[in-house]
Structure 1
Amino acid sequence: MDRFEAMRAFVRVVDSGSFTQAARQLGLHKATVSQQVMALEATLGVRLLTRSTRSVAPTAEGLAYHHRACTILQQLDEAETELRQGGQAIQGHLRVDVPVAVGRLVLAPAMREFLDRHPGLSVELGCSDRVVDLVGAGVDCALRGGELPDSGLAARRIGQLRFVLCAAPRYIDEHGLPQTPEALAGHRQVGYLSGATGALRPLRLQREGRSVEVEVPARIVTTDSGAALSAALDGLGLVQLAEFVAAHHLASGALVRVLPGWQSPSLPIHWVTPTPRQRPARVQAFIDWAQALLVRRLGSGLEPA
């Protein structure tokens, strides 16, 4: 059995929902496709498809294998294309997912630089503070904040993103300026829901080895860092923002540091890709460019890895 050909046959059956359609697309006999899939199931020791007289559908194991197989076959096709192209320019389409603030403030304004460098590439820049299933969504690479779960994704650490606790002068005029971390409990915050867990993040501060975590009530919560910034600028509460997001507003006086003698914990950030194997050239080119850009644009707001 040719493992890759059997894998390709299985993927076509799942995508088309039919052995007949898969055979037609591959230019093979239906019996040949059926034999390839059965041989694959025998090799793996699991049932990949549920068959009936009218339909065929992947089992839970088959669905998981389908996701992996699609990635493997795509990489195989890309590797063969790159070998055939030799030293030719990188080409193709790239799907990227990043947090809203990074996409809006850092990547999008500089994207012309990358596209001019690689005229054969097109980019779909997804901006979301939610955690996206890279394999299921067909995303080539994503920027993730926080400690990574053991998900099987390949990761490249960029550094630690610095955060700052701040508030608008309007909020301070109305509610006063807290002088100790314990005093935060008597205030209110613009709440941010974690994209990974969906939970409201408490306010955390640290100084000289001491860490405190304070539950601060929120009158407004959001999953979008841009919305959190807008609400804070309107005086709706204290907010913990990435330093690069708050920097301009702190410099202009639209926001004021709260408890400047205390530090907000930094957040590790990584580029992640769906597979630990060698990345396609287009993905590697983007990650290299974007990492250098982040270091340049975020400045002191990014601690080196």
Structure 2
Amino acid sequence: MAYVNNIRMFVRVYELGNMSAAARDQRTSPAVASSRIAELEKHLGVRLFNRTTRALNPTEHGRLFYDGACRILEAIDSAEAAVMEASQSPRGTLFVAAPLGVGRRFIAPAVPAFKAQYPQIDIRLRLSDRMIDVTGEGLDLAFHLGPLVDSDLKVRVIEECPRVLCAAPAYIERRGMPRDGQALIEDGHDCLNLRFPGAREFQWTLQTADGPRRFEISGPLESDDGDVLTGWALDGAGIVLKPLFEVAEHLETGALVPVATDTPPIPTQLACLSPSRRYRDPKVQVFTEFMVDHCKRALRELQP
């Protein structure tokens, strides 16, 4: 297994372009990562990377070896997956990511039940509203809320999620009730922004009589945590665009009320994404099926 581990380390160093990042990804130290690359280079008799104080770049030999290394690892992973599937005993550690709202409301509460059903699978769950690089961060599976972009990831769409623009009654009393998206702009409403590198939530896509239209909104408050925005909206600080499942309880109690109802937000999608090399892994498959079923039922219970 030492040689295989060396190859895995090489692939991650190649993909991440950084020894320390690859070491973190493989749950080891930079010294061990460097040692594994050195062992592989000694075995092959060539240098795989050019190292400087600021950069780590693959050599021509490294680029040639990468494609073959990926095929080797894919074959090993497929063989292991076939054995585990035949034994009907998925095992191992799953590295999973999810947006904060989805993770806190759906994924995390269901993990203990999954663990009880599959005791030989351990879960490492990361929650964040930032953009996730599924392959680059070494994840087995990531839940994604929003538009899907073309990639080589395997995609499983879970459910279409309605969204709503809403604000606290105190905000409406102070600033008035906007009728549509144009009023948000013309009347200078305080829109609460989800903002982080790569985010597009400062442009709200709303359904108009002429079809979907993007409105470039603005406001004095922004955060990279969607639940923070909900809290600000509840405090009367502004208008927020949220998936219905995140604010359903507040709409039911009247703590938040829908606004700009003439131009409602277009729905978004909840999906799970997996790298092509990992989606056939039995532990990935059973976790995916378990959580897809759980999320579908939970979301449908919240539909109006």
Whether these two folds match at TM > 0.5 is yes
Equivalent positions of 1:4-43 (< 5 A) are 10-11=7-8, 16-18=33-35, 22=39, 33-35=43-45, 38=46
RMSD: 3.6
Equivalent pair of 1:157/1:271 in contact (CA under 8 Å): yes
What CA distance in whole angstroms lies between the structure 2 residues aligned with 1:64 and 1:137?
A: 23
Structure index of larger Rg = 1
Give the deviation of 1:110 after TM superposition: 1.9
What CA distance in whole angstroms lies between the structure 2 residues aligned with 1:248 and 1:209?
A: 32
Give the deviation of 1:102 after TM superposition: 0.5
* 2:192 is the counterpart of 1:190: yes
Give the deviation of 1:153 after TM superposition: 1.5
State the Cα deviation string for residues 274-301 of structure 1 (Å, max 9, x = none): 1167520000111111111111111176
* 2:65 is the counterpart of 1:100: no
Equivalent pair of 1:160/1:266 in contact (CA under 8 Å): yes
Q: 1:75 to 1:176 in 2, by over 3 A?
A: farther
Equivalent pair of 1:194/1:200 in contact (CA under 8 Å): no
* 2:61 is the counterpart of 1:59: no
Aligned position for 2:157: 157
Q: 1:92 to 1:188 in 2, by over 3 A?
A: same
TM-score (norm 1): 0.77
Give the deviation of 1:112 after TM superposition: 1.6
* 2:284 is the counterpart of 1:267: no
What CA distance in whole angstroms lies between the structure 2 residues aligned with 1:276 and 1:19?
A: 22
What CA distance in whole angstroms lies between the structure 2 residues aligned with 1:161 and 1:253?
A: 21
Give the deviation of 1:73 after TM superposition: 2.1
Give the deviation of 1:85 after TM superposition: 7.5
Equivalent positions of 1:1-305 (< 5 A) are 10-11=7-8, 16-18=33-35, 22=39, 33-35=43-45, 38=46, 48-50=48-50, 58-59=57-58, 62=62, 69=69, 73=73, 76-77=76-77, 79-80=79-80, 82-83=82-83, 86-185=86-185, 186=187, 187-193=189-195, 197-275=198-276, 278-299=279-300
- What percent identity do the matched residue pairs reach? 30
What CA distance in whole angstroms lies between the structure 2 residues aligned with 1:19 and 1:107?
A: 35
Give the deviation of 1:193 after TM superposition: 1.9
Aligned position for 1:42: none
Give the deviation of 1:217 after TM superposition: 2.3
What CA distance in whole angstroms lies between the structure 2 residues aligned with 1:65 and 1:174?
A: 64
Paired residue type of 2:274: T
Aligned position for 2:22: none
Moved more, 285-294 or 271-280: 271-280
TM-score (norm 2): 0.77
Equivalent pair of 1:67/1:136 in contact (CA under 8 Å): no
Aligned position for 2:29: none
Q: Which runs of 4+ in 1 moved over 4 A?
A: 4-15, 18-21, 60-72
**2:87 alignment partner, SS class:** coil
Paired residue type of 1:251: E
What CA distance in whole angstroms lies between the structure 1 residues aligned with 2:277 and 2:221?
A: 39
Give the deviation of 1:234 after TM superposition: 0.8
Give the deviation of 1:67 after TM superposition: 10
What CA distance in whole angstroms lies between the structure 2 residues aligned with 1:226 and 1:71?
A: 42
What CA distance in whole angstroms lies between the structure 2 residues aligned with 1:68 and 1:229?
A: 48
Give the deviation of 1:101 after TM superposition: 0.2
State the Cα deviation string for residues 91-138 of structure 1 (Å, max 9, x = none): 111110111000111111222211111011110111111122222321
Equivalent pair of 1:154/1:272 in contact (CA under 8 Å): yes
Equivalent pair of 2:84/2:90 in contact (CA under 8 Å): no
What CA distance in whole angstroms lies between the structure 2 residues aligned with 1:227 and 1:71?
A: 44
Q: 1:51 to 1:175 in 2, by over 3 A?
A: closer
What CA distance in whole angstroms lies between the structure 2 residues aligned with 1:103 and 1:64?
A: 39
**1:126 alignment partner, SS class:** strand
Equivalent pair of 1:19/1:34 in contact (CA under 8 Å): no
Q: 1:188 to 1:292 in 2, by over 3 A?
A: same
**2:132 alignment partner, SS class:** coil
Moved more, 66-75 or 213-222: 66-75
What CA distance in whole angstroms lies between the structure 2 residues aligned with 1:285 and 1:301?
A: 25
What CA distance in whole angstroms lies between the structure 1 residues aligned with 2:167 and 2:120?
A: 45
Moved more, 214-223 or 144-153: 144-153
What CA distance in whole angstroms lies between the structure 2 residues aligned with 1:278 and 1:202?
A: 33
Paired residue type of 2:195: L
What CA distance in whole angstroms lies between the structure 1 residues aligned with 2:117 and 2:35?
A: 43
Unaligned runs of 5+ in 2: 14-31
